[in-house]
Amino acid sequence: MNLSNFESIAYSYPELILMTTAIVIFLADLVVRGEEHLGSVALFGCAFALLAAIGLRVPFSDTWLIRGLLGWGEGWLYSRMVVVDDFAVFFKIIFCLAAFATVWMSLGSNEVRGVNEGEYYGLVLASTVGMLYMASAANLLMAYLSLEFVSLTSYVLTGYMRHNRRSGEAALKYLIYGGVASGTMIYGMSWLYGAAGSLDYAYINAALAQGAINPLTLFIAILLILAGFCYKIASVPFHMWAPDVYTGAPIPITAFLSVGSKAAGFAILIRLFYPGLSQAVGGGGWQFLAGVDWPQLMLVICMVTMILGNLAALNQQNVKRLLAYSSIAHAGYTLMGFVVLNDEGLRAMLFYLVTYYLMNIGAFLVVMIVVNSTGREDIEGFRGLAWRGGAVPAVAMAIFLFSLAGLPPLAGFVGKFYLFAAVVKAQFYLLALVGLANSLVALYYYARIVRTMFLDMPTGTEGVVTLDAHNACLLYFLALPTIVLGVYWAPVIDLADRSVHFFVG
Amino acid sequence: MGILTWMTFLPLIGMAVVLCLPSRADELIRRTALAFTLFPLVMGIWLFQHFDRTTSAFQFTQHAPWIESYNINYFVGVDGISVSMVLLTVLLCPICILASWGIDKGIKGYFALFLLLDGAMVGVFVALDFFLFYIFWELMLLPMYFLIGIWGGPRREYAAIKFFLYTLAGSVLILIAMLVLYFQNEPHTFDMIQLMAQGATISTKPVIWGLGLQHLLWLALFIGLAIKIPAFPFHTWLPDAHVEAPTAISVILAGVLLKMGTYGILRVNYGMLPAATTDLAFWFLAALGTWNIVYGALCAMAQKDLKKLVAYSSISHMGYVMLGMSAFTPQGINGAVLQMFNHGTVTAMLFLLVGVIYDRAHHRQIDGFGGLAGIMPVYTGVTALAFFAAMGLPGLSAFISEVLVLLGAWQKYPGLTIVAASAVILTAGYMLWTMQRIYLGAPNEKYLGLPEINARELVTLVPLGVIVVILGVYPHAVLDLINASLLNLNKVVAAAPAAVASLR
């Protein structure tokens, strides 16, 4: 179906709710005193947006109390600019969850408290809206606009701690890298537009299928466009911003960027390269069009990203920076599902992003708890954490880190298992071996933090770590599913399975 | 709920219970942990009585769907091979809890992790779904890492991470091989019984260096499992881990974890890849096993630290297991599994005995003692029993299994068997020499006041000593359990070349 602007509104509730909340916060910030309540408003906004995406059903029946987007038709909205399908809804849920956790985290963060809170929460929500549209963009123009929107809001959020030099430096670096990457990307998009004669993914696909595009032209266009996308998912060779930005930004924003922004990058990447530049060939397989073997290119990017991220993480002393490099490596792992050109790989990617959401936000949350209490974010600041009041955060951190390392029975293992299964099924044995060798390297530096927390004894100068109820709730909210999904994950994998489904008209 | 499920999950329930107890209730935590390891022991005794020794089929099976979209199931059951290992595990766990009574730091964490380890170990032996097997296999790593890393000796951090990385390196290879096996099978399955039935059909057509897919899978699995055995050259984590680990953890490491390597080879490599097994057994099991025997014995002889000596003797003794199973004769393979069981009990005794003396003298230098026989006569008596058992003295358990291994191997590899049999002299050499340096001669003035072995320590040692003696005169207690399954396994491997030929 192809809906008009007015009819499309019924399919845009999550975006509308978030946008309305953001506007309310901006306005309230101007007129009302009492900034500290704005965060709670934002939290409710995220929760309602999440509800509008998932819907609310009477347990064990088919009666819906709130009809969510999940499983509710698919089609083009706003005159083919935006598409809503299972794939988009899956990502919308992830973004709403990410925003929810970020806002919750911000409410308990000392870095955020008391400084322009209205703008802060408004921008987080606005950025989330941009991500929701990134997952739905069915048109190069829409893709570019939504991606830029997310980037611009992220620059401001990164530099949010105005009086902190690192924060400002990070924002500027982010801005400059982002400007170059998106300029390159839009140049590539113009090539694609020129060659295919349309901005619409479906028409581009048709033009490719007819062989109307010169492979060299297409290859150059893909190369240039990848600059923007690789920048968003923080993969080699456009990863250099990540360590500085992750270190400089307020910790909730770091978590938000490392999960939300990255997932949005994957959403836009998959939608352009799969339904846009490839063709389903039945049996869950895909075939790239017009003779440009971009999976080979991505294979190289994927392996180099993993290796570089992991090796660079080995010697980091700052935990945020270490997690930044680990997040680069995880972009590489996730790309393993991208290069195998089948639905199995895509499903594994979607599932992995869910687990990554839990464990990565969780890890940053523990960093934030430690920073809140002691102001230290270097590894030495974690020394003997388990033995100086921080037993719960330390155990949670161990769970998140071992999950990131991919050890059972934790969610991260299941995510990696599906990725490797897809790779082995497609018989990319070299990639599987490289990925597994990387898991080993990764274990070493994750275990390094665990060792510092548990095996080293505190020297008495590190300060006492306290955990308040607010942060504890979020900690349990993230840690328990990390364990539960490692033991029983059928509902999530089924949802991911269903979500590997694109509306192409 | 099947009995095997209870045996696996009771310790895990115990872990949850221990975590809920108040941290200061030391005695309560210890007793709870002991109770949750004694229940599985009782069940193990029941299992021993009710196990049908006439069949090679899997018994006490339980099957439940887990992740249906990927055909992953919860599937447990035991045959003769695994039941002997389950018995060994449930026997050693309460003993280790008793041996850990003296732990005084982070008691709650220690016993909780120990119970997690216990459940995971039983899980590895009873799992019949490859995915489940892998989960339990990996689940052992985390508690082991912390148990060595937090409660270990001076170089515990190094030993813990080394153990962790080595074992994980092995398990990622197992993961890849497991996935390939899954996709090779139609319909895709992790069910070990189906994988065994299908195994012979995996291609042996050379793809690289004359090795077929089946051989490559075999090697990936073998390396993964050999790290656990540990076979040369993957053994270097073992001395470090053993020296640094607390006594009870050394017992578990040597008594149970090492057996998982050889158990895995029998279950996975033999059962699922029989053709590759016949092709590769000579080099990777027989020759490497013999080398392990000699190398481990020579290394043991050179050690100054008593615990390290026992660790290297483990490497040597596990070599007999590899040699025995490589021969594909009834005596050889029966001897191998019996040796797994016997080594589990004997080496557990040795580590417990090292622990006893370390607790008193706070060092383990072999040359630092002398004449302990006069100071601690009872202790010395028990030690002598364990040392003689480790040497393979007739009348004690290890003698039977080593002789069976050598008899079985002789029929296939006479040359290697001569080497392996001669190594018995080396074993006797380092054991007796150690015996002489520590227990005989003039008493060391420094240790005249050492207290005799106490009741709790005796309780941990006596049951093992009794088993060592009983199995020395009546090995059928274990042999009857394992025989049917092993003969069947031999048949599967023997039929493999014919099955492959018929495919060509």
Cα dihedral B350, B351, B352, B356 sign = positive
Per-residue pLDDT at A290 exceeds 80: no
**Nearby residues of B38 by Cβ (< 8 Å), 6 or more positions away:** B94
As a whole number, mean pLDDT of residues A102-108 equals 92
In this predicted structure, the answer to whether residue B131 has a pLDDT above a threshold of 50 is yes
Q: A30 exposed, middle or buried (CB, 10 Å; 0-12, 13-18, 19+)?
A: exposed
Question: In DSSP terms, which residues pair with A84 in a beta bridge?
Answer: A75
What's residue A318's pLDDT?
Answer: 92
Select from B146, B169, B179 the Cβ nearest to the Cβ of A454.
B146
- The four Cα atoms B461, B462, B467, B470 give a dihedral, to 10 degrees, of 140
pTM: 0.92
* Confidence (pLDDT) at B502: 55
> Does A75 map to a domain?
no
Q: Which residues of A touch B161 (CB under 8 A)?
A: 444, 447, 451
In a domain, residue A427? The reply is yes
Query: Which of B172, B190, B207, B219 is the mutation pick for testing A, counting most A CBs within 10 A?
Result: B172
pLDDT at position A171, please? 92
Instruction: Answer yes or no: do A440 and B172 touch at CB < 8 A.
Output: yes
- Closest-CA distance, A106 to chain B, in angstroms, reads 31
pLDDT grade, residue B277 (50/70/90)? Answer: confident
Average pLDDT over every residue of A269-281: 89
Q: Among A417, A427, A487, pick the best mutation site for testing chain B contact (most B Cβ within 10 A).
A: A417
The per-residue pLDDT for A503 is 85
Q: What is the DSSP string of B181-248?
A: HHHHSSS---BHHHHHHHHTTS--SEEETTEEHHHHHHHHHHHHHHHHTTPTTS-THHHHHHHHS-HH
pLDDT of the residue at A35? 73
What does the CA dihedral B366, B371, B372, B377 come to, rounded to 10 degrees?
A: 140
User: B471-482 as b/e, with b when 16 or more CB fall inside 10 Å?
Assistant: bbeebeebbebb
Query: Is the per-residue pLDDT at B242 higher than 60?
Result: yes
DSSP A315-338: T--BHHHHHHHHHHHHHHHHHHHH
Answer yes or no: do B67 and A493 touch at CB < 8 A: yes
Q: How many Å apart are CA A220 and CA A371, to the nearest integer?
A: 45
Write down the pLDDT at residue A129: 95
Q: Hey, are the CB atoms on B176 and A417 less than 8 Å from each other?
A: no
**Mean pLDDT across chain B:** 88
Residue type, A395: V
Average pLDDT over residues B328-333: 87
Interface of B with A in 316-345 (CB under 8 A): none
Residue B170 touches partner A, C-beta closer than 8 Å: no
Rounded to a whole number of angstroms, the CA Rg of chain A reads 22
State the DSSP code for A385.
G
Tell whether the model's pLDDT for residue B498 goes beyond 70: no
B142 to chain A, minimum CA–CA distance in Å?
9
Contacts of B138 in chain A (CB under 8 A): 407-409, 413
Contact in structure between A174 and A155 (CB atoms under 8 Å): yes
Could you tell me which residues come within 8 angstroms of residue A121 by beta carbon, excluding any fewer than 6 positions away? A22, A25, A38, A39, A41, A42, A103, A106
Torsion angles phi and psi, residue A83, rounded to 5: -125, 140
Answer yes or no: are the C-beta atoms of B162 and B241 closer than 8 Å: yes
What gap in Å lies between CA A191 and CA A292, rounded to an integer? 15
Helices (H) and strands (E) in chain A, counts: 20, 6
Which secondary-structure segment (H or E) carries B147?
Answer: helix B141-151
- Bridge partners (DSSP) of residue B67 are B72
Asked if residue B120 has pLDDT above 70, the reply is yes
pLDDT of B276 higher than 90: no
Q: What is the DSSP letter of A197?
A: S
Q: How confident is the model at residue B504 (pLDDT cuts 50, 70, 90)?
A: very low
Cβ neighbours of B160 in A, within 8 Å: 451, 455
Please state at what angle helix A391-405 crosses helix A411-425, rounded to 10 degrees: 0
Type of residue found at A56: L
Nearest-CB residue to B165 (from A425, A440, A456): A440
Q: What share of chain A is helix, strand, coil (3-state, %, to 5)?
A: 75, 5, 20
Mean pLDDT of A370-378: 87
- Which B residues, 53 through 72, put their C-beta within 8 Å of a C-beta on chain A? 66-70
Point out the residue among A420, A444, A494 whose CB comes nearest to the CB of B165. Answer: A444
3-class secondary-structure state, position B77: strand
Most B CBs within 10 Å, among A404, A413, A424, A428, to test the B interface:
A424
Place A212 in a pLDDT band, splitting at 50, 70 and 90: confident
Q: Which two tokens stand for residue B374?
A: 């006069």
Q: Amino acid letter at A198? A: S
B500 pLDDT band, cuts 50/70/90, is: low
- Output the pLDDT for position B295: 92
Q: Which residue numbers of A have CB closer than 8 Å to B's CBs?
A: 402, 407-409, 413, 417, 420-421, 424-425, 429, 432-433, 436-437, 439-440, 443-444, 447, 451, 454-456, 488-490, 493-494, 497
A385-389, A496-500, B342-346: range with lowest mean pLDDT: A385-389
pLDDT tier at B445, thresholds 50, 70, 90: confident
Closest by Cα among B9, B42, B31 to B98 = B31
Of the candidates B238, B248, B252, which has an alpha carbon nearest to the alpha carbon of residue B119?
B252
Q: What percent of chain A has pLDDT over 70?
A: 100
Question: How does residue B499 score in pLDDT terms, banded at 50, 70 and 90?
Answer: low
B429: burial class by Cβ within 10 Å (0-12, 13-18, 19+)? middle
> By C-alpha distance, which of B358, B153, B135 is closest to B246?
B153
- Residue B161 contacts A where some CB pair is shorter than 8 Å: yes
CA A160 to chain centroid, in Å, comes to 20
Which residues in chain B touch residue A408, judged by CB atoms under 8 angstroms apart?
A: 134-135, 138-139
pLDDT tens, residue by residue, A128-179: 999 999 999 989 999 999 999 999 999 999 988 888 888 889 999 999 999 9
Instruction: Give the model's pLDDT for residue A304.
Output: 93
Residue A496 domain-assigned? yes
| Shortest Cα distance, chain A CAs vs residue B66, angstroms | 8
Contact criterion met (CB < 8 Å) for B146 and A489? no
Amino acid identity, position B336: A
Count of structural domains within chain A: 1
- Say if the Cβ atoms of B168 and A440 lie within 8 Å: yes
By three-state DSSP, how is residue B65 classified?
Answer: strand
pLDDT in tens, B46-96: 999 888 888 888 888 898 988 888 889 999 999 888 899 999 999 999 999
- The minimal CB distance from A451 to the residues B69, B70, B149 is found for B149
pLDDT for res B1: 65
Find the residue in B nearest to A395 (Cα): B109
Residue B176 with chain A: CB contacts under 8 Å: 420, 424, 429, 432-433, 436
Q: What is the pLDDT of residue A184?
A: 94
One-letter amino acid of B91:
L
Choose the weakest-confidence range: B218-232, B292-306, B483-497. Answer: B483-497
Is B165 at the interface with chain A, CB within 8 A? yes
Residue that has been written with the tokens 């090292």 in this structure: B354
| Cβ pair B179:A425 closer than 8 A | yes
Is B88:B464 a contact under the CB 8 Å cutoff?
no
Interchain proximity B179–A407, CB inside 8 Å: no
- Which residue range forms the structural domain that includes residue A395? 296-505
In a domain, A190, yes or no: no
- Please calculate the CA angle B106-B111-B117 and round it to the nearest 5 degrees: 125
Task: Write the CA distances from A185 to A144, A190, A270, A271, integer angstroms.
Answer: 8, 9, 16, 16
What pLDDT is stored for residue B501 in this prediction?
Answer: 57
pLDDT of residue A160: 86
Residue A325 lies in a domain: yes
Integer Rg of chain B from CA: 22
CA distance A96 to A74: 20
pLDDT for A376 beyond 70: yes
In this prediction, residue B222 carries a pLDDT of 93
This complex has an ipTM of 0.89
| Residues B141, A407: C-beta atoms closer than 8 Å | yes
